Every structure is written in structure tokens, then in C-alpha cells.
């Protein structure tokens, strides 16, 4: 998975996946808007997502995920006051799946701090499948460029190397899995 330079094959596949009026794709944001967003947050978005938003579409009403891609500068609609402060420049803390719902003990202060980081640090929300199951693109930290499913119960990375799915990792792999109409968690 390459995150520094956009692979022409990945970009061609992304363009094909979002081609057509039935996808409800938005206009691209343009390079000036992408660079301004990056400067504001002190990050550089991973490729091919960066080029996708600048040149293909900034959001999409028809997915992926079920409720569509959230435009880059639009905060998720279900994020109100009282949640963790989002800081994209601070690293996303996880490198492996964590189902905190299975932890027997009441979360300690340290666990709560890590949970706030999972929801608030180093990732942008790509969109939701509903019921609090959000897809995040990691923009800072060891898993930069990977897509994660984060819910109230736990967090897991997307990609065959992590189990759960046969899909390729990263934004292009995640979109390709969706475009092939393959269930997200299709690994046996």
C-alpha cells in the first residue's frame, strides 16, 4: 500500500467506481481546498485519497459506505458537543483490532483516554454504515493510509492482512471491495 504517491491504477479504479450519475458523486474539492485543509490540520492526507478528493469527488451520496462518503471538510453529522476533541495531527493510537466491549472491567482513566484518542486522533471519518459503525481513514500514526471500522464496541482495521475481510488495505482497496459488491467482513 502506497500512501505518498498516487498509483495511476488505483486512481483509474477509483474513477471507475464513482463514474455515473447513479453514484451521486460530488464535485472534486480541488487542490487549493485540499492543501488548505491539510495546512489547517497540520497533516498531509494519504494517497490515493488525497488525489481522489482533489480530482475525482469530495463526498458521494451513494457510498461507500451505506450512507455515502462524507466530504473532506464536513464533520460527521452525528458528532455533537461532549465528544473527544478531534486532533488530526496527533497519531491514531491503534495498530491492531480492539474490542473494548469484551473487556470485563469498567474502563479505567487510562483506557478512557485511549478511547478518546481512537475516536479523536489521527483519523478522518469517511462515512457510516449506521448504528454508530463509522469508517475512518487514518491520516497520522503507524497505520497511516489504512481504513478502520470504529464503533461503540470496538475498532478493527480493514484489509486481508488483518483478517475479517479479503479486501486489499487502504482507501483504494476499501473502495474496490465495495465496488465489487462484496460484504465488508467476508473472510471465513
* Alpha carbon distance, N-terminus to C-terminus of the chain: 23
pLDDT of residue 9: 94
Rounded CA gap, 12 and 154, in Å? 33
Rounded CA gap, 183 and 164, in Å? 10
Nearest to 52 by CA among 171, 159, 158: 171
pLDDT of residue 20: 62
Per-position DSSP letters for 114-149, written without gaps between them = HHHHHHHBSEEEEEE-STT-EEEEE-SSTTTT-EEE
Domains of the chain: 8-75+84-179 (3.40.1580)
pTM of the model: 0.91
pLDDT of residue 106: 62
The pLDDT profile of the chain, 188 residues, written as one tens digit per residue, is 778 888 999 999 999 988 765 555 678 999 999 999 999 999 999 999 999 999 999 988 877 888 889 999 876 655 545 556 689 999 999 999 999 877 666 656 677 888 888 988 999 999 988 888 899 999 999 999 999 999 989 999 999 999 989 999 999 999 999 999 998 889 87
pLDDT of residue 108: 66
Amino acid at each position: 500500500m502506497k500512501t505518498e504517491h498516487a498509483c495511476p491504477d488505483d486512481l483509474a479504479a477509483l474513477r471507475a467506481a464513482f463514474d455515473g450519475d447513479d453514484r451521486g458523486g460530488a464535485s472534486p474539492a480541488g487542490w487549493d481546498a485540499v492543501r488548505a485543509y491539510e495546512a489547517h490540520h497540520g497533516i498531509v492526507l494519504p494517497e490515493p485519497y488525497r488525489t481522489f478528493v482533489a480530482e475525482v469527488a469530495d463526498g458521494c451520496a451513494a457510498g461507500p459506505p451505506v450512507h455515502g462518503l462524507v466530504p473532506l471538510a464536513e464533520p460527521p453529522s452525528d458528532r455533537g458537543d461532549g465528544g473527544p476533541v478531534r486532533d488530526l495531527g496527533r497519531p491514531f493510537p491503534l495498530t491492531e483490532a480492539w474490542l473494548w466491549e469484551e473487556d470485563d472491567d469498567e474502563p479505567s482513566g487510562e483506557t478512557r483516554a485511549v478511547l478518546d484518542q481512537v475516536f479523536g486522533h489521527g483519523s478522518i471519518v469517511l462515512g457510516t454504515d449506521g448504528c454508530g459503525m463509522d469508517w475512518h481513514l487514518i491520516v497520522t500514526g503507524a497505520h497511516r493510509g489504512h481504513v478502520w471500522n470504529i464503533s461503540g464496541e470496538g475498532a478493527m482495521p480493514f484489509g486481508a492482512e488483518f483478517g475479517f475481510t479479503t479486501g486489499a488495505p487502504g482507501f483504494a482497496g476499501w473502495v474496490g471491495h465495495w465496488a465489487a459488491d462484496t460484504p465488508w467482513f467476508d473472510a471465513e
